[in-house]
Structure 1
Amino acid sequence: MQTLLNPAKKYPILDDIVLLLARIALGVILIAHGWQKFNEWTLAGTSAAFVDMGIPAPRVTSAIAASAELVGGVLVLIGLLTPVVAILNVLVQLAAFALVHVQAGLFIENGGYELVLALAAGLLLLAVRGAGKFSIDALLPGSPYRNNATDRVAEEELVSAR
């Protein structure tokens, strides 16, 4: 029963595979939306749309949203600074939820909040769990995903080189 309720406990690699797949999906979606704001709509067009939606400081907020999505999407995809970037994009999604989508209801076909809610939920999971073993974050010193034995060997080599 324990395996059924928590399969990653028995097969820890599942945790890292799922984190990788989540990062790929969320990263691609964020990149697409950021690219759309920069390339298809342009920042001027995005800013004009933000004016129509009543979003404060539309020139600034459109640039922040577009940059957070495009650059943040790339960083989520490769797994670099994942918790920080995920939280930044959660804030962007929460702003979109509160300022634009909540009054339209749940369904995206009516301009609703289902996409921003799903993105925020997935990004929150990445913010709390981290990027997983298959990420650039895992290569950084102090990463919980690094092999502690490898870290100790590297530290010993540094000490002996002095």
Structure 2
Amino acid sequence: MINRLQPIGLLIGRVVLGVVFIAHGWQKFNENGMDATAQGFEGLGIPAPTLSAYFAVGAELIGGSMLIVGALLPLAGLWLASVMLGAMYFVHPLNGAFFSREGGYEYVLLLAAVALAIGFSGGGALAVDSLWLNKVGEKKKEDEPLRAESLA
């Protein structure tokens, strides 16, 4: 029973997390604008604020989309987690409060952990990565008798 529901659970997790990241990226890109986002990053003491702003927005928009479709999940998970760990260091420092309602790092830590967990989960049967890997596996199985015959 769990094996049947696992792809659906992973799909729900990927889509929800992807939507959250895309919403945050879209807010930085569209509502605030990249100049305002870079200025905000500069005010927070983030190094190379313009480059960092584009890196963060790219991660949230592209990485969030990658999560939703289940493509290149380990890369997406690492990219998104790195942005969240950067936010944890620069915006919600560890010496501050834990809970997000107090300005703490609880939320960004959770997002980083879930991005990594989903990124290295394989995404389930309903992910592009799984569909592609299954086709590669099928191709290898088809080639196995040929390799065995060529060795004889």
TM-score bracket relative to the smaller structure: 0.7 to 0.9
- Supply the distance in 1 between the matched residues of 2:120 and 2:3 (Cα, whole angstroms): 17
Segments of 5+ residues of structure 1 without an aligned counterpart are 1-9
Q: Where does structure 1 differ by over 3 angstroms across 4 or more consecutive aligned residues?
A: 152-156
1:110 maps to what in 2?
A: 102
- Supply the distance in 1 between the matched residues of 2:25 and 2:92 (Cα, whole angstroms): 18
1:111 is displaced (CA, Å) by: 2.3
- Supply the distance in 1 between the matched residues of 2:51 and 2:102 (Cα, whole angstroms): 26
- Supply the distance in 2 between the matched residues of 1:128 and 1:113 (Cα, whole angstroms): 23
- Supply the distance in 2 between the matched residues of 1:109 and 1:41 (Cα, whole angstroms): 22
- Supply the distance in 2 between the matched residues of 1:82 and 1:153 (Cα, whole angstroms): 22
Cα distance change on mapping 1:111 and 1:154 into 2, 3 Å: same
Q: Do residues 35 (structure 1) and 22 (structure 2) align?
A: no
Q: Indicate the percent of aligned positions where both proteins have the same amino acid.
A: 38
1:151 maps to what in 2?
A: 138
1:94 maps to what in 2?
A: 85
Segments of 5+ residues of structure 2 without an aligned counterpart are 147-152
- Supply the distance in 1 between the matched residues of 2:5 and 2:135 (Cα, whole angstroms): 17
CA RMSD of aligned residues (A): 2.2
1:132 maps to what in 2?
A: 124
Cα distance change on mapping 1:14 and 1:56 into 2, 3 Å: same
Q: Contact 2:77–2:120 at 8 Å: present in 1 too?
A: no
Cα distance change on mapping 1:58 and 1:152 into 2, 3 Å: closer
- Supply the distance in 1 between the matched residues of 2:84 and 2:22 (Cα, whole angstroms): 14
1:154 is displaced (CA, Å) by: 8.3
- Supply the distance in 1 between the matched residues of 2:29 and 2:90 (Cα, whole angstroms): 21
The more displaced of 85-94 and 97-106 is 97-106
| Amino acid corresponding to residue 80 of structure 2 in structure 1 | N
TM-score (norm 1): 0.80
The more displaced of 51-60 and 103-112 is 103-112
| Amino acid corresponding to residue 46 of structure 1 in structure 2 | T
